[in-house]
A and B are shown apart, each in its own frame.
Chain A
Amino acid sequence: MSTVVVEALVKRFGRTTTALDGVSFTVAPGELFGFIGPDGAGKTTLFRLLVSLLRPDAGRASVLGLDVVREYRALRQRVGYMAGPFSLYPDLSVEENLRFFASVFGTTIEREHARIAPIYAQLEPFKTRRAAALSGGMKQKLALCCALVHRPEILLLDEPTKGVDAVSRREFWDLLGTLKRSGLTTIVSTPYMDEANRCDRIALIHRGRLLAVDAPGTITRAFDRPLLAVRARERYKALLALRGHEHAHSVYPFGDVIHYTDERADAPADQIGQELRAFLAANGFADASVEPLAPTVEDTFIARTAESESRISNPESRIPNPESQIPNPESRTGSS
């Protein structure tokens, strides 16, 4: 039996905003399931629905076999939730926060020590420090600890690594790996595509719809076009030039390089590479280098959003501006 079953879930805000537009998926027991998507995709709304903070407008959702609308009381005993923004008491110490949330669930730190030990071990040296004075990474670990203190059967973490430095992010995912080995079902969301590979399965979410739900490897294998990375000193001009190439399917910036996909799905990458080199040289980019590339989750995401955009709204433009939608994981890492 699935731990989470969601069927055709719809949530609207006001008349104009549809935050979730018919979302369906299931999560198996013990799975580490990730929602990957940019800000505003509907991740937070979905999490708030799953933990009974919102009611859906249509469709249904059950968590641990409990309906999130009708059986919310029983559900709240058994689910661990960590909201996106840090939401503990800044004026209470690490230990006081933990003790508070334990007492809210009618238990104590001592009784739950076994469950929280791997995380609490890292927090213990700072246990008298006020939460406000913790680093971003430590805050997230404390929040995770508080979400675990009542021994939940499922953990829902909404963007737990957002705004946390790269090292702390890795540490946090290591903790999630530890929890997974203990058999805890975990659903996590993130705007960082590079974190997708840590999950058993991921769902790509965009504008309230799921674009794909599968294992990260399967999702990237489904990427069916040749992909090449282009480096040039004048990156933006090169990008514009490449968009004028007769066989270009999509061209978008990716970190400090340009990713190029070709519309001839069956052409060998080496041949396209040679074509592009010649094309760029002819257009005055003598320094440009071109290399074939294995697609990442982010490439898949961009391809899928482009497809769904052209289907839904504007069949003319095949290439949406990906920069405005996809957060760049490298430029988003540090605020602690």
Chain B
Amino acid sequence: MRRLLFLAQAEVLHILRDRVLLAQVLIVPIIQLLILSNAATFEIRNTPIWIVDFDRTSVSRGLVNHLAASGHFQIVDTTPSLDRANEALLAGTVTMVVVIPHDFEVSLTKTRAAPVELSVNAEKGSAAGIVQSYASRVLSEYASELALARRSSKSEGGRIDVRVRGRYNPTLNYKHYMVPGILVALVTMIGTLLSAQNIAREKELGTLEQLNVTPITRGQFIAAKLLPFWVLGLLELSLGLIVGKLVFGIPMRGSVPLLFGVASVYLAVALGIGLWISALVETQQQAMFVTFFIVNIYLLMSGLFTPIDSMAPWVRVASQINPVRHFVTISRAILVKGAGPAEIARPFSVLAVSAVVVLTIAVRQYRKRAV
């Protein structure tokens, strides 16, 4: 035990002496958190649009006002020229062209239905979808308003009033959803990359061989290596939470100690993967490449950036064994929904099993390669 402490102490010295590593641990995550949570957003505001209003009636103007008031759009022009509007769409100065035909008001009063044409630049697929859905929502809201007005003038009642309330995140603040997920990505990166690189470094230096000719057991060595990075990972999480709270005002509805409890188990998985990688490679560079490859796949399949429900069926199945996915789920559940131990029991049990499996494999792999 004393020996383990000495080893860990030397490890702390290595970390403190390495300026790049310190920067990697302290500064990079904060910057990443600030940039990623602002960049990785699907919220669309101020989309430039062109409204070609051929009708020019009070009803068509009402539509324009609704689009303007929604906050999603910025009306660049309303000149009724289809050609010029299409040119702007091609040039990319507007993302959507809304065409209101001549007989808009007339056909609306006569047939109670009127066509509106939406042309969306679908170059950026998902953004186009969102713009279109925003616009459709505004249009249908306006349509039901008009219908309501007509009915009330004829004093007809019985309309269904649908009111949507976003539970847990009532203002639909995207950052409250992203930040807890990005925290997971940071902890994963630190845990896996640093542990993989660190042991590869000992291989490069030749100190690993030197240590192999000492009475230290492999278990002691691995424990002494992983312990400081385990602490570092938790430190990283605290740092991220503080930034999340101060800068983004993320909610902390659930128990923070519970989150740390889960994180400490999750870190065992992340560190175990790093250890596994380091057992397979010879140099720090190789360790880095392999880590980036694996972590990238894990992150893309984690539901952090894209919803798991929209992934291909086999990816959905495969993501069941992705530890990042489960910790992202837990982190969001605890912070945003205020989930307790009972609600996170299922994903947590996956993490716990993964920790045992990964660490066992990594330690065994380590033995095989080192003698």
Contacts and interface: CB of A to CB of B under 8 A. Distances in A.
B90 interface: no
Interface in A70-111: 73, 76-77, 79, 81, 83, 85-92, 96, 100-101, 103-106
Contact of A77 (B13, B209, B215): B215
B207 A88 contact: yes
Contacts of B17: 91-92
Interface stretch (B2-10, B293-301, B351-359): B2-10
A101 B17 CA distance: 19
B311 interface: no
A104 B213 contact: no
Interface in B6-32: 6-7, 10, 13-14, 17-18
Contacts of B212: 53
A52 B14 CA distance: 28
Contact of A104 (B18, B206, B209, B216): B216
A106 B3 contact: yes
Interface string B183-226: 00000000000000000000001110111111110000000000
Contact of A81 (B14, B207, B210, B215): B210
A53 B3 CA distance: 21
Interface string A234-245: 000000000000
B206 A55 contact: no
Interface in B350-371: 371
Contact of B205 (A52, A81, A89, A100): A89
Contacts of A205: none
A51 interface: yes
Contacts of A53: 209, 212-213, 371
Nearest to B220: A104
Contacts, number: 65
Contacts of B371: 52-53, 55
Interface residues of B, number: 21
Interface in A282-336: none
Contacts of A87: 205-207, 209-210
B209 A83 contact: yes
Contacts of B214: 76, 101, 104-105
Interface string B87-105: 0000000000000000000
Contacts of A96: 10, 13
Contacts of A90: 205
B210 A103 contact: no
Contacts of A85: 206
A89 B15 CA distance: 12
B206 A83 contact: yes
A92 B15 CA distance: 11
B1 to A, nearest CB: 11
B5 to A, nearest CB: 9
A155 B302 CA distance: 53
Interface string A45-81: 0000001110100000000000000000100110101
Contact of B2 (A73, A77, A86, A106): A106
Given A77-B215, A103-B6, A106-B3, A92 B13 contact: yes
Interface in B81-138: none
Contacts of B13: 91-92, 96
Contact of A89 (B2, B10, B209): B10
Contacts of A52: 213, 371
A88 B213 contact: no
B41 to A, nearest CB: 41
A266 B55 CA distance: 123
B207 A104 contact: no
Contact of A88 (B2, B7, B210, B216): B210
A120 B212 CA distance: 24
A154 to B, nearest CB: 12
B2 A92 contact: no
A76 B10 CA distance: 21
A86 B17 CA distance: 20
Contacts of B10: 89, 92, 96, 100
B215 A73 contact: yes
Contact of B7 (A51, A104, A146): A104
Contacts of B2: 103, 106
A146 B214 CA distance: 11
A34 to B, nearest CB: 20
Q: Which of B2, B213, B216 has the most CB of A within 10 A?
A: B213
Interface of A: 51-53, 55, 73, 76-77, 79, 81, 83, 85-92, 96, 100-101, 103-106, 146
Given A91-B13, A96-B13, 18 more contacts: A53-B209, A53-B212, A55-B371, A76-B215, A85-B206, A87-B206, A87-B209, A87-B210, A88-B205, A88-B210, A89-B10, A89-B14, A90-B205, A92-B10, A103-B2, A103-B3, A104-B3, A104-B7
10 contacts: A53-B209, A83-B209, A83-B210, A86-B206, A88-B205, A89-B14, A91-B13, A92-B10, A92-B13, A106-B2
* List of 6 A-B pairs having minimum Cβ-Cβ separation, nearest first: A87-B206, A103-B6, A91-B17, A81-B213, A87-B210, A104-B214
Interface of B: 2-3, 6-7, 10, 13-14, 17-18, 205-207, 209-216, 371
